[in-house]
Structure 1
Amino acid sequence: MNPDVTIVMYHYVRDYQNTKYPDIKGMDVRTFEKQVQYLKNNYNVISMDELVDAIQNGASIDEHSAVLTFDDAYSDHYLYVYPILKKYGVKGAFYVPTGILQDKKVLDVNKIHYILASASHETILQELMLLLDRYRDMYNLETIENYFEKYAHANRWDPEEIIFIKRMLQKGLDQEVRMKITDELFQKFVGQPEEEFSKELYLSTEQILEMQNNGMHFGPHTHDHVWLDSLMKEVQKDQMKKSLHYLKEIGVNLDRWTMCYPYGGYNEDTLTLMEEMGCSAAVTVEPKKFRLNDVNKFELPRLDCNDIEW
């Protein structure tokens, strides 16, 4: 048996009729419920633990199996996703960048989302350019033209200007100046204290444990939600150790833990670490279905929820 498997990837799932930030890209809770109904009717929806059992022990799963995964530990996952999964008897897999809980911070990736949702990209781009000019000499920055040539490449989701803003604030600059600029933009355009915003945006420890007690699977998404493929092996290992330590400390079951690579970024060092650290399986963002026996267990592809044909 070599059944086909579809892992579905979700991020924001929320009530878009009543949100303060309607421009944050995600799935409305009503659409989500309809998609869960569709998946239940057309797939064999299994848990991540059942998939791991099939990978590790050869346990049988049916053709057209599907696993639902949720990245970044948003409070929306407790408020909207969790009740629907319980209603339909589905066990999802949730991946936590643990620094958000330990440090009460907002991930840079989420700061970027909310910056972009709080003003026009033209206004944000103008402010970003002013900040690049301000810090150019202090941090030996390149010209805006050079950065734009490197990073302003439109994709299927965003025009080049938005991609430029994202890439500059994600990895285009050295960490120190990148964090300074991101924080300044966040305060200017969002304007809410970071700790307060973090408590609203992410799951609490109590919510995680309640969800786990009702069959949901939790695993690490690194500690700081970093591009692992941009880091030396020892730094990658430190990110993983911190994340696993924190999850264990708060009571998450790590007997058969699985991993989710932030941004889908990983390399050969990452794969080696997954084996060395006892990871059961890891998911990427490569958008395709797969046959169970035809993939590396540390490179499991996932379809974005918007790519499901239904």
Structure 2
Amino acid sequence: MEDLAIMYHYVQTPKWRGIVPLDPIDFELQIEWVTKHFEVVDPTDLGKQRSSKPFCVLTFDDATKDQYEVAFQILSRKGLPAYFTVMSGPFVERKVPIFHLIHAALSFFSDEQIWDELNNRYDVKDVPEKCQIYSYETSLFRRYNKYALNFHLSEQESREFLEEKVLSIFHSFENFIDSYYINENEFIKMRQAGMTLGVHATHHRPFSGDARAFFDSEIEPCRQFMREKLGVEAKWYTPAFGGGNQAERMMKELRGILENHGFVGAFTTKPGLNSGLDSFWLNRYDCISLPPRSEFPWK
């Protein structure tokens, strides 16, 4: 029997235009479907003896508040475990990662307006040819904006552009962080309820190409935060952006470092099933590719 891992981000009613969330009603319907076909377990249980059903791990990226207020409450009511990741940068440095600034900006300003402003301020003429990583976005301008701000511009350029826009809506980053992310007390409640917590990132950056430097800057500080503030010795890792454009190199070069520091596994953004813990890097299906949003993809 092969196992399933499902990737979730936002679970909320569509109140922002910059993201594509899974509606809570659909989330409950999907959990009902999952429990009919799989036994829901935490990641470590993937290595244990099977029951009559294959296993399923429910995984959550980015540590947004809706995961605590909506998904965790539903799972707790149903008595189901899940794996939630932690991002430490917003709490330690009070600094919002670029990708969440993008979500906020795209929610309150039109795609055309942002693209026009980017063209007026920066050299982005190569972006339309390179933005296929966002081919799932139906709007061309949305693809251009996400690629330009996540990958084409320097982090400093993107941050300066986005912070100006986000502050015009939220007035302070304290307001944004406190309302947008799962806080320390909420994570502790989740851990006490039996949820597994793992490392996502410090600043939510894609793999840099230097495995040791990347571990030291993006993984270890988050793990230290979890150890000191949450009482968790993290053993699972989920890379931001699935590693980004250098994901294959990341998986090859980062694995040994992770294992030497006590990590037992990590989750990719590659769709596919898994065979227990036979692989360190485990596949995941995005929640939107499963019922009720889509058909069972491997039937």
Q: TM-score interval w.r.t. the shorter chain?
A: 0.7 to 0.9
Tell me how far apart the structure 1 counterparts of residues 206 and 124 of structure 2 sit (CA, whole Å).
23
Distance 1:11 1:153 in 2: 17
Contact 1:151 1:164 in 2 (8 A): yes
Q: How far apart are residue 252 of structure 1 and its match? A: 3.4
1:242 paired with 2:232, answer: no
| Residue aligning to 1:176 | 156
CA offsets 1:245-293 (integer angstroms, 9 cap, x no match): 1110113322x61000111014122222212221111000001222336
| Number of aligned residue pairs | 284
Asked if residue 296 in structure 1 is aligned to residue 279 in structure 2, the reply is yes
Report the secondary structure of 1:292's partner residue.
Answer: coil
Would you say 1:194 and 2:169 are equivalent positions?
no
Residue 193 (structure 2) aligns with: 214
- Alpha-carbon displacement from aligned partner over 1:192-235 (angstroms, at most 9, x marks no partner): 3222111100011000001100100101112111102x242232
2:134, 2:67 → 1: CA distance? 29
With over 3 angstroms needed to count, the CA separation of the structure-2 counterparts of 1:23 and 1:183, relative to structure 1, is: closer
In structure 1, C-alpha distance between the alignment counterparts of 2:164 and 2:6, rounded to whole Å:
35
Match of 2:263 in 1: 279
Alignment partner of 1:94: what SS? Answer: strand
Distance 2:184 2:134 in 1: 38
In the superposition, the TM-score normalised over structure 1's length comes to 0.85
1:113 is matched with which residue: 103, 106, 111?
A: 103
Distance 1:245 1:48, change over 3 A: same
Find the residue that maps to 1:269 and give its secondary structure: helix
Match for residue 204 of structure 2?
225
Structure 2: stretches of 5+ with no match in the other structure: 293-299
Mapping for residues 9-28 of structure 1, pairs under 5 Å: 9-16=7-14, 19=15, 21=16, 24-28=19-23
Q: Which amino acid aligns with 2:8?
A: Y
Work out whether 1:306 is the aligned partner of 2:294: no
User: Which one of 73, 83, 88 corresponds to residue 63 of structure 2?
Assistant: 73
Relative to structure 1, the CA distance from residue 153 to residue 241 in structure 2 (aligned partners, 3 Å threshold; closer, same or farther) is: closer
In structure 2, the CA distance between the partners of 1:129 and 1:186, relative to structure 1 (3 Å rule), is: farther
SS at match of 2:201: coil
Which residue of structure 2 lines up, in the alignment, with residue 47 of structure 1? 42
TM-score in terms of structure 2 length: 0.88
Distance between the aligned counterparts of 1:145 and 1:14, measured in 2?
35
- Quote the RMSD (CA, aligned, Å): 2.0
Who wins on radius of gyration, i.e. which is larger?
Answer: 1
Residue pair 1:152, 1:164 contacting (<8 A) in 2 also: no
Q: CA deviation at 1:152?
A: 6.4
**In structure 2, the residue corresponding to 1:106 is in which secondary structure?**
coil
**Residue by residue, what CA displacement relative to the aligned partner does 1:77-119 show, whole Å, maximum 9, x if unpaired?**
1111111101111111001111122122322111111211212
Q: 1:146 to 1:34 in 2, by over 3 A?
A: closer
Instruction: Tell me, in whole angstroms, the C-alpha distance in 2 between the residues paired with 1:44 and 1:108.
Output: 36
Cα displacement (A) at 1:166: 0.8
- The match for 1:95 among 82, 85, 88 is 85
Of all paired residues, the percent bearing the same amino acid is 23
**How far off is 1:153 after superposition?**
6.7
Note the C-alpha offset of 1:191. Answer: 4.5
- In the alignment, is the contact (CA less than 8 A) between 1:131 and 1:181 conserved in 2? no
For 1:296 and 1:35, the matched residues in 2 are separated by 26
Give the aligned residue type for 1:13: V
Contact 1:154/1:160 (CA < 8 Å) preserved in 2? no
> How many Å apart are 1:35 and its aligned residue?
1.2
Give deviations 1:139-187, integer Å, cap 9, x for gaps.
xxxx432343333675123433212211111121222223222323433
SS for the counterpart of 1:198 is: helix
After TM superposition, the structure 1 stretch with the greater mean CA deviation from structure 2, 4-13 or 172-181, is: 172-181
> What CA distance in whole angstroms lies between the structure 2 residues aligned with 1:124 and 1:303?
31
Q: Where do 4+ consecutive residues of structure 1 move more than 4 Å?
A: none
Whole-Å Cα distance in 2 between the matches of residues 27 and 92 of structure 1? 16
